[in-house]
Amino acid sequence: MASISSAGIGSGLDVSSIVSQLMTVEKAPLQQMQTAATKIQNQLSAYGKIQSFVSTLRDAAAKLGNPTTWNSTAATSADSSVFTASTDGTAQAGNYALSVQQLATAQTVASPASAFPVGAGVLRIQDGAGGLAVDVSISAGDTPAQVRDKINAAKAGVVASVVTDASGSRLLLRSAETGADHAFTVKEVVPDGLGGETTSTTGDLAKLTYDPALPAAAGVNMALTQAAGNAKATVNGLAVESATNLLSGVVEGVTIKLAKVSASPVELGVSNDTESIKTAVQAFADAYNQLNKYLSEQTAYDPTTKRAGTLQGDSGTNSLRYAMRGIVGGTGTMSGSYQRLAQIGLDVKKDGSMAVDATKLGNALGGKLADVQALFATKDAAVPANNGFAVQLQKWGDDLLKFDGALTSRSDSLQSRVSDNTKKQDAFNDRMTQVEARLKAQYSALDTQMSRLNSLSSYVNQQVTTWNNSSE
């Protein structure tokens, strides 16, 4: 009989190896559970991606089902160097003649080049729009840059800067906002001789003061280089005025940004923004194709590699794919010239993908915008079958994604299976720990018993040899 020759504890039995081999057999079911867990996790991950793709498609459909998308307009300028324009959801299509007579300007004053060095004092800056006057303390010997920084830090409604040329450095003050109301004055605060104070343009800081209401000699005060003024324009012959170069509300829903004076009227056109609608339709098609492609990949079977997609044979996924294809490939009962998406250039192919014919879509939007809107956005609470395709797909997505929807329920079910599998593996591992301990105890006892038998055999053999030797 062959014997186990591995080193044992006195018996020759390799207890560790024997127990390890037996445990490999005992643990075979664990591998099956781990394989099952991996499969479930892959399915759970796949359903997570499906939920994301469905959410994207639902949101794209919701945009096409929103009247705001279809009511959007765009404004164009026949000469963008004169003005540009943008619209909001309230603008109505139409054409307007706009001419610009004057741009809004900010008041600017400049000190004489001989203004520095300066003495000590307080400058009081008053914005003509009625804000509180702001006082700025000036120290003797302050440089133009130091005066500039003090004025800017005071936030008095003016912006100070320094211009330096061959004649020296001059301080420039510009109103922070355009418009006639933002004309400002700069005066020096001086004692009034009665224990109080007054303002002056003839004190130590006279060359940094400006007041158009008082006479001033050249080089004594700051000089006006640009007066504060409002923008002036005419829209279809109607004179309009604005403190800024933005005209808001002159044409309802349109904001016009003036850029320069025009010698003659420039056309402002407001029309339906079909480009933004095309973008929304393309986003809808892209979201649909993304979901369709993923579902096809996950349910496919490759006979060459004999590999199946993660969700191959999954009835829920197949139902999902058939439902979405059924919606976009169906015929609607909404009013208007169109009842099928293919009629406006959205063709559903054999593989379920959607191709967008840009020319066909553009023609439909340009010629029958209201009918295209009806195809997507019709809402009929009494007869849901009359709903537009975007409305149908939005509801389909909402139903799938709600807390008790098919996708949510399926994901919850898979997550529950993952948890159950984990519990089973934990229980199995606990049981295997007990089995391994029992096997080690049994084979250790066998090892001890065989060690004793080996010792007894050696003793008997020794006694027989001794007896034989004494008999000779």
Question: Residue 199: which H helix or E strand, with range?
Answer: strand 197-200
Average the pLDDT over 121-143 and give the result. 92
The confidence band for 3, taking pLDDT boundaries of 50, 70 and 90, is very low
pLDDT at 5 over 50: no
pLDDT attached to residue 449 = 72
pLDDT at 384 over 90: no
Considering the domain 108-226 in this protein, what is its CATH number?
Answer: 2.60.40
Average the pLDDT over 201-227 and give the result. 87
The confidence band for 405, taking pLDDT boundaries of 50, 70 and 90, is confident
pLDDT attached to residue 2 = 41
Global model pTM greater than 0.75: no
CA dist 397 and 53 (Å) reads: 10
For domain 1-72+273-448, say whether CATH 3.40.50 is its number.
Answer: no
Question: DSSP letter at 339?
Answer: -
Average the pLDDT over 419-442 and give the result. 84
pLDDT at 463 over 80: no
pLDDT attached to residue 12 = 63
Q: DSSP alpha helices (H): ranges in 108-203?
A: 144-154
Average the pLDDT over 140-153 and give the result. 96
- All CATH 1.20.1330 domain ranges in the chain, comma separated: 1-72+273-448
The two beta strands, 223-226 and 108-110, are antiparallel
Average the pLDDT over 274-282 and give the result. 94
The two beta strands, 231-235 and 223-226, are unpaired
Average the pLDDT over 370-385 and give the result. 90
pLDDT attached to residue 383 = 86
Average the pLDDT over 220-241 and give the result. 95
For residue 92, give the nearest of 253, 235, 246, 267 by alpha carbon: 253
CA dist 21 and 182 (Å) reads: 93
pLDDT at 353 over 70: yes
pLDDT attached to residue 10 = 54
Average the pLDDT over 304-320 and give the result. 85
pLDDT at 122 over 60: yes
For residue 392, give the nearest of 336, 302, 323 by alpha carbon: 323
Are 310 and 294 within 8 A, CB to CB? no
Q: What is the share, in percent, of the chain residues with pLDDT greater than 70?
A: 94
Intra-chain end-to-end CA distance of the chain, in Å: 33
pLDDT attached to residue 78 = 96
In DSSP terms, which residues pair with 108 in a beta bridge? 174, 226
Which residues does 280 contact at the CB level (< 8 Å), separation at least 6? 60, 63, 64, 69
The confidence band for 427, taking pLDDT boundaries of 50, 70 and 90, is confident
pLDDT attached to residue 442 = 78
In DSSP terms, which residues pair with 308 in a beta bridge? 301
The confidence band for 9, taking pLDDT boundaries of 50, 70 and 90, is very low
pLDDT attached to residue 337 = 85
- All CATH 2.60.40 domain ranges in the chain, comma separated: 108-226
Q: Which residue has the higher pLDDT, 89 or 353?
A: 353
pLDDT attached to residue 1 = 36
pLDDT at 385 over 60: yes
pLDDT at 292 over 90: yes
Are 364 and 358 within 8 A, CB to CB? no
The confidence band for 83, taking pLDDT boundaries of 50, 70 and 90, is very high
Q: Strand locations in 88-138, DSSP E?
A: 94-102, 108-110, 121-127, 134-138
Q: What is the share, in percent, of the chain residues with pLDDT greater than 90?
A: 51
For residue 204, give the nearest of 314, 87, 293, 116 by alpha carbon: 116
Average the pLDDT over 79-108 and give the result. 93
Question: DSSP letter at 227?
Answer: -
The confidence band for 256, taking pLDDT boundaries of 50, 70 and 90, is very high
Mean pLDDT score of the chain = 88
What are the percentages of helix, strand and coil residues in the chain, rounded to 5?
45, 20, 30
Q: Which residue has the higher pLDDT, 151 or 423?
A: 151
Average the pLDDT over 365-369 and give the result. 90
pLDDT attached to residue 217 = 66
Average the pLDDT over 13-39 and give the result. 81
Average the pLDDT over 352-373 and give the result. 93
